[in-house]
Amino acid sequence: MNAAGTLSITADRLLGRLRALGQIGRDSEGRLTRLAASEADKAGRDAVAGWMEAAGLEVVVDRIGNLFGLWRGGEAGLAPVMVGSHIDTVIDAGILDGCYGVLAGLEAVETLRDAGIVPPRSVVVAAFTNEEGVRYAPDMMGSLVYAGGLPVETALASVGTDGTVLGEELARIGYAGAQAPGFLTPHAYVELHIEQGPVLEREGLRIGAVENLQGISWQRVTIEGIANHAGTTPMAMRRDAGLAAARVVTFLRDRVARGNAPTVATVGCMSFAPNAINVIPSRAVFTVDLRDPDEARLREEEQALASWLKHLEAEEGVTISVERLARFAPVAFDQGIVGMVERAVSRRGLSARRMTSGAGHDAQMMARICPTAMIFVPSIDGISHNPRECTAEADLVAGANVLLDTLGQLSAASARC
């Protein structure tokens, strides 16, 4: 209890587990990499499942490998409240992304149990499979399958960047469960996460009440030109795939910079062939990541890119093809839960603002099947997907306490979103 009589989480337990999980999956150079369905992922799952069992939760795994800790409520027939995130990581990761939401959810449940509270609604702590999408595509796979957006058979047949098959790897590590994805339809889903951006820290705020999430458009662009000698081919006579690719990058940057909208555009991967210093590139392959919280604007940016590529194709004498990799519409979160988060923040005497998530999260998929919202805490210097990812311990505890309060309300029989 705090001075006002409100329940508070056990900070040392939460922070200790974050540090412990953050040591699982480190290589000989100390880099943390826990890719989906890898040996490191198995070790992380084993640790989390062990903590769930120790807390008195029933551990359940579904066919796509999603890991759940179920705390049964006092009234049968009421839909459960779900909290969670993921524990898989990018390559050379920090210790908080995803893991914080899972372990803070577990901590909130333990705090309620320790206080002798048995809520009418059951509570489920979820660790979704392959949120990052580093080894298998698409990202947010486990929650997407759970929400019915991707057939489980299709997901299990996914071939990884290392040639492995996801279903076979889940079986190998012992996390190919028997339950059908979506076996429980939640009353509500809440995800606590580090912001992974600079807004809260820049504004000196402790909590973000996330009210919506940007739409995401991923495409792979291939430009075919003609390889030729770098020294003997005049500039005006080249069909330079590399130059054309560079023009796409600058087009995107200039277009977004001229606009008065929160649109962001990123070329994150690029490769040339034959990739020789003295040969004009005959091929350029690169990705384009477009994001905007407004569907109409996102479609407008996609169309602008498509028009520019047609223009570029004619002007540079190249051939351009585009492959759609992923497309997720913007998500508006449940206003009732967002307001509940704000009231919890106010009762705790914390500072907050409503905000948009620029990153994709499992909550994006869960919003398809139940009322959903997110809670953010600041990221120091806005850094994530990086070993320097860090959030002040006081902020980690504050966010977990806001999650605790929100979970307590949602799991009450009278709670309505």
Q: Which helix (H) or strand (E) holds 177?
A: none
What per-residue confidence (pLDDT) applies to 340? 97
What per-residue confidence (pLDDT) applies to 17? 98
Question: Under a CB-based contact definition with an 8 Å cutoff, are residues 369 and 181 in contact?
Answer: no
311 is an annotated ligand-binding site residue:
no
86 is an annotated ligand-binding site residue:
yes
Residue located via tokens 């992380």: 44
132 is an annotated ligand-binding site residue:
yes
**φ, ψ of residue 51 in degrees (nearest 5):** -65, -35
What per-residue confidence (pLDDT) applies to 209? 98
What per-residue confidence (pLDDT) applies to 79? 96
Rounded to 5°, angle at Cα 92 from 89 and 95: 55
97 is an annotated ligand-binding site residue:
yes
**φ, ψ of residue 224 in degrees (nearest 5):** -105, 120
What per-residue confidence (pLDDT) applies to 414? 56
Peptide bond into 330 cis (omega under 30): no
Q: What is the pLDDT of residues 298-353, one digit of tens each?
A: 999 999 999 999 999 999 999 999 999 988 899 999 999 999 999 999 999 999 99
What per-residue confidence (pLDDT) applies to 146? 98
What per-residue confidence (pLDDT) applies to 328? 87
What residues in the chain have per-residue pLDDT under 50?
2-5, 415-417
d(CA 301, CA 309): 12
* Domains with residue ranges and CATH for the chain: 3-213+331-412 (3.40.630.10), 215-328 (3.30.70.360)
d(CA 392, CA 75): 38
What per-residue confidence (pLDDT) applies to 342? 98
At residue 153, what is the residue type?
E
Per residue, what are the HEC states of 95-160? Answer: CCCCHHHHHHHHHHHHHHHHCCCCCCCCEEEEEECCCCCCCCCCCCHHHHHHCCCCCHHHHHCCEC
3-state secondary structure of 300: helix
What the block records as the tokens of 26 is 């480190």
